[in-house]
């Protein structure tokens, strides 16, 4: 969004129309409007009139794509989950061990959320108010992936702490920072999140060791 | 909603000879209790001034003498309930005994509080986000207050699990676990979670073995 160097009338136009990128689809514009609007006003303060205005689409287009505000919100949640999942996967790719993949993936995920706190506000804040069962959707996406990674690496399954609770804790720590308007500090949460992601599968000692390594890992730069 | 008020009903109509301050205090408590109850049962959207008045048995004029609007009333109800919960936690945590015992007692007090009043829990955790962006600062402030209570009574002999903020992890574990149960309407069973939640809270401080030994001990039932 920092691309407008144009002056006069061009500065007023949406960036996508002149930076030479393919303009986002109508659907994507509405979803981005939903994510922005929720970040500013939360879900209850978001109206379809505003989504339509911010997304520069007609009301008819909105109702062609979504049945109602809630349907649009659910699609926005999916978009946020996909974007976060993509960041985690990209960060973790090419790593040799589950511990390293976890550290790199988390650094990339926190980098994304620091650059776009609106994603974290929606996933960790609005979702709780709109429909708590939605939280399970991405909790259940991450937990089994991590479990499989450790199983494939030959880590025997032991009775450690609960992966579901670790996920809830991580979510609260992230929300605590973004709710306070301190998203830029999210990368500093990496040791805590790494600990939480590892402790259910490899235990406290290994999780603490990895948390210390994460403290010294370089932060991940996220392209704007 | 016994926790805001201790269950005051409407005052007798007509000449009851109560001092005005007493009347206002009673009205205020009834309005706060009503706001929390209506919000927990029907959601913030449906929590209109009219619905609060009907539940509280208080007149519109009295409402506006005390609160600017429904949002102010709901947010004040939230503050009163949260103060009550934090005080309960503080009392349990500052009791006598070993630190792990006090942790266990604190978790038991927390779970009992939510089990005793399912609507208060629902209001505090599930419905409040609907008030709007004010929720963000309320959440942050509440979280920090719990962390401050726990930090103020840490055992100086505890190992330092650097770089973890083990207290934040403890508070997050408690909120996350209680939120899940309250959102799912399983508040009655909350007190049975004391050992499991104590274990989760203690692991970042002590590691699995010591946490298990401390959390899953047989505790003689009082009384």
> pLDDT band for position B66 (50/70/90)?
very high
Q: Are residues B84 and B119 in the same domain?
A: yes
In whole angstroms, what is the distance from residue A131 CA to residue A143 CA?
20
- For residues B44 and B123, the answer to whether their CB atoms sit within 8 Å is no
Give mean pLDDT, residues A152-177: 85
Q: Are residues B156 and B191 in the same domain?
A: yes
Q: Report if residue B41 sits inside a domain.
A: yes
Domain containing residue B62: 2-71
pLDDT for A3 beyond 50: no
- For residues B164 and A173, the answer to whether their CB atoms sit within 8 Å is no
Contacts of A193 in chain B (CB under 8 A): none
Q: What is the pLDDT of residues B111-123, one digit of tens each?
A: 999 999 999 999 9
Q: What is the pLDDT of residues B156-184, one digit of tens each?
A: 888 878 888 899 999 999 999 999 899 88
Q: What is the CATH number of the domain that holds B182?
A: 1.10.357
pLDDT for B193 beyond 50: yes
Its pTM stands at: 0.85
Q: Does B132 touch chain A (CB under 8 A)?
A: yes
- For residues A86 and A119, the answer to whether their CB atoms sit within 8 Å is no
Give mean pLDDT, residues A124-148: 79
Judged by DSSP in three states, B222 sits in: coil
> Which has the higher per-residue pLDDT, B51 or B96?
B51
CA angle B28, B116, B198 (to 5 degrees): 125
Q: What is the pLDDT of residues A84-116, one digit of tens each?
A: 989 998 999 888 899 999 999 999 999 999 999
For chain A, what is the mean pLDDT? Answer: 84
Give mean pLDDT, residues B54-77: 96
- Whether B203 and A172 lie within 8 Å, measured CB to CB: no
CB nearest to B44's CB, from A40, A44, A208: A44
Judged by DSSP in three states, A109 sits in: helix
**What string of DSSP letters covers A125-166?**
IIHHHH-THHHHHHHHHHHHHHHHHHHHTTPPP---S-HHHH
Q: Report if residue B141 sits inside a domain.
A: yes
> Which has the higher per-residue pLDDT, B159 or B2?
B159
Q: 3-state DSSP: chain B helix, strand, coil percent, rounded to 5? A: 75, 0, 25
Residue tagged 């109560």 (tokens): B18
Q: Which CATH number fits domain A21-216: 3.40.1350.10, 1.10.357.10, 2.40.50.100, 3.50.50.60?
A: 1.10.357.10
Q: Provide the ipTM.
A: 0.85
Contacts of A164 in chain B (CB under 8 A): 180
Instruction: Give the helix/strand (H/E) hosting A192.
Output: helix A190-202
Q: 3-state DSSP: chain A helix, strand, coil percent, rounded to 5? A: 75, 0, 25
Q: Are residues B37 and B79 in the same domain?
A: no
Give mean pLDDT, residues A39-58: 93
- For residues B203 and A161, the answer to whether their CB atoms sit within 8 Å is yes
- Whether B172 and A45 lie within 8 Å, measured CB to CB: no
């Amino acid at each position: 969004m920092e691309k407008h160097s144009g002056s006069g009338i061009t500065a007023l136009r949406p960036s996508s129309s002149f930076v030479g990128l393919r303009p986002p689809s109508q659907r994507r514009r509405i979803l981005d409007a939903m994510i922005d609007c929720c970040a500013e006003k939360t879900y209850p303060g978001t109206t379809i009139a505003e989504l339509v205005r911010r997304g520069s689409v007609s009301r008819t287009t909105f109702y062609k794509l979504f049945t109602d505000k809630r349907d649009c919100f659910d699609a926005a949640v999916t978009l946020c989950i996909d974007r976060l999942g993509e960041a985690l996967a990209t960060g973790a790719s090419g790593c040799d061990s589950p511990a390293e993949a976890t550290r790199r993936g988390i650094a990339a995920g926190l980098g994304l959320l620091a650059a776009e706190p609106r994603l974290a506000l929606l996933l960790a804040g609005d979702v709780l108010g709109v429909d708590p069962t939605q939280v399970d959707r991405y909790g259940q996406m991450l937990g089994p992936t991590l479990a499989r990674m450790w199983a494939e690496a030959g880590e025997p399954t032991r009775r450690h702490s609960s992966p579901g609770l670790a996920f809830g804790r991580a979510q609260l720590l992230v929300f605590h920072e973004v709710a306070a308007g301190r998203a830029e500090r999210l990368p500093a949460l990496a040791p805590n999140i790494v600990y939480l992601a590892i402790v259910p599968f490899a235990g406290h000692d290994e999780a603490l060791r990895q948390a210390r390594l994460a403290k010294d890992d370089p932060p991940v730069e996220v392209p704007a | 909603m016994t926790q805001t008020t201790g269950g005051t009903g409407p005052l007798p109509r007509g000449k009851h000879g109560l001092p005005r301050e007493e009347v206002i205090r009673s009205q205020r408590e009834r309005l706060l209790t009503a706001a929390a109850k209506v919000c927990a049962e029907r959601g913030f959207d449906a929590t209109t001034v009219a619905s609060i008045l009907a539940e509280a048995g208080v007149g519109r004029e009295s409402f506006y003498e005390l609160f600017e609007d429904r949002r102010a009333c709901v947010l004040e109800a939230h503050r009163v309930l949260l103060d009550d919960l934090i005080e309960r936690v503080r009392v349990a945590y500052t009791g006598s005994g070993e630190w792990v015992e006090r942790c266990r007692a604190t978790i038991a007090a927390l779970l009992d509080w939510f089990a005793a009043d399912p609507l208060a829990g629902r209001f505090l955790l599930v419905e409040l986000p609907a008030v709007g962006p004010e929720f963000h600062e309320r959440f942050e402030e509440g979280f920090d207050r719990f962390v401050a209570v726990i930090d103020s009574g840490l055992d100086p002999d505890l190992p330092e699990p650097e770089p973890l903020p083990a207290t934040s992890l403890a508070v997050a574990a408690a909120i996350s676990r209680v939120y899940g149960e309250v959102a799912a309407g399983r508040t009655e069973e909350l007190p049975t979670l004391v050992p499991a939640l104590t274990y989760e809270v203690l692991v970042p401080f002590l590691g699995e073995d010591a946490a298990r030994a401390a959390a899953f001990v047989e505790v003689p039932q009082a009384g």
